[in-house]
Amino acid sequence: MKEGFLRKGRVLAGALLLAVAAAALAGLAIAAPSLGQGAAASEYAYGPAGKAYGKHKIVICHKGKTLHIPPPAWKGHRRHGDTLGACP
């Protein structure tokens, strides 16, 4: 009787493991972008690439190079000594 109980337990555990694996693979199939068709899921979550802060940029001098950055990035650049405006 004990062997029958253990066998049923192993079958149940195997079926449960198979169900979890199938659910995980189904989730990946749904979340994965299609091959060359339509937009990736990340585009819907974060917007099109390069437009996270809109089209407005500011000009700064960063380590001797002139950069155009989105306004929210200025705070971090200012902390390490960058300056507003083009480099000399």
Lowest mean pLDDT among 51-55, 62-66, 72-76: 51-55
The 10s digit of each residue's pLDDT in 61-73 is 999 999 999 888 9
Tell whether the model's pLDDT for residue 40 goes beyond 70: no
Q: Both tokens of residue 20?
A: 């979890």
| Residue 33 near residue 40 (C-beta atoms within 8 A) | yes
Q: Is the pLDDT of residue 34 over 60?
A: no
